[in-house]
Amino acid sequence: MINTAAEKRKKEEFIEYLENRYDEGYHNAALMSILHKAQEIFGYISTEAMEETSKHLGIPTAHIWGVVTFYHYFTLTPRGKYVISVCLGTACYVKGGKRILNKLKDELKIGLDETTEDMLFTLEAKYCLGCCGLAPVMMINGEVYEKLTTKKVTEIISGLRKKEAASVSVG
């Protein structure tokens, strides 16, 4: 782990949440809110989080695993602080979406569905973000970046890297 103190704090926050979230007779309702909380805290659902949840609710880990893999919202692998969704839908594709994707791969040195080693960026593809008129587009943590060029991609990524470097040196 990159920051063990931060990881420890996250784990404590999760355990505290679990201890206050035992709803006798309502295991399934409790399970969903616990899994949402785990993903909110850790950014993904770890095996450890599933085991802790299983102990607290008294339900098998296999059942929890089934729920986690059923819902697309949940992810089993750690994701970066910035999740970049590049659009490869038809409108974006014809306007150079593939070129944008390749530029992102180049800048980040990762492939699709991968996360950078410093845990800053995760790269994924989407097949229409609902703003085709602004193609080609990508979304970073819910914010849309429109009419992209490879130059804009470089600027956006370097802007985020600078922002992170500044927050590390301040904090």
Segment 25-64, which members bind ligand FES (CB under 6 A)?
Answer: none
The CA angle 85-41-72, to the nearest 5 degrees, is: 45
Residue 111, H or E segment: none
* CB nearer to ligand FES: pick between 37 and 152: 152
Burial 69-94 (b: 16+ CB within 10 A, else e): eeeeebbeeebbebbbbbbbbebbbe
Among 68, 86, 92, 123, binds ligand FES (CB under 6 A): 92
H runs (alpha helix) in the chain: 4-19, 27-42, 47-57, 61-70, 90-94, 97-108, 150-170
135 binds ligand FES, rule: CB under 6 A: yes
Choose the stretch contacting ligand FES; rule: CB under 6 A; options: 58-66, 68-76, 90-98, 163-171.
Answer: 90-98
Q: Is residue 91 involved in binding ligand FES (CB under 6 A)?
A: yes
Closer to ligand FES at the Cβ: 41 or 91? 91
Q: Where in 113-132 is the site for ligand FES (CB under 6 A)? A: 128-132
CB 102 within 8 A of CB 138: no
Number of chain positions touching ligand FES (CB under 6 A): 12
Q: Which residue is nearest to ligand FES (CB)?
A: 89
Q: At what angle do helices 61-70 and 47-57 cross, to 10 degrees?
A: 120
Does the footprint of ligand FES cover residue 140 (CB under 6 A)? no
Give residue 50's Cα distance to chain centre.
18
CB 159 to ligand FES: min, Å: 22
Binding footprint of ligand FES on the chain (CB under 6 A): 87, 89-92, 128-132, 135, 137
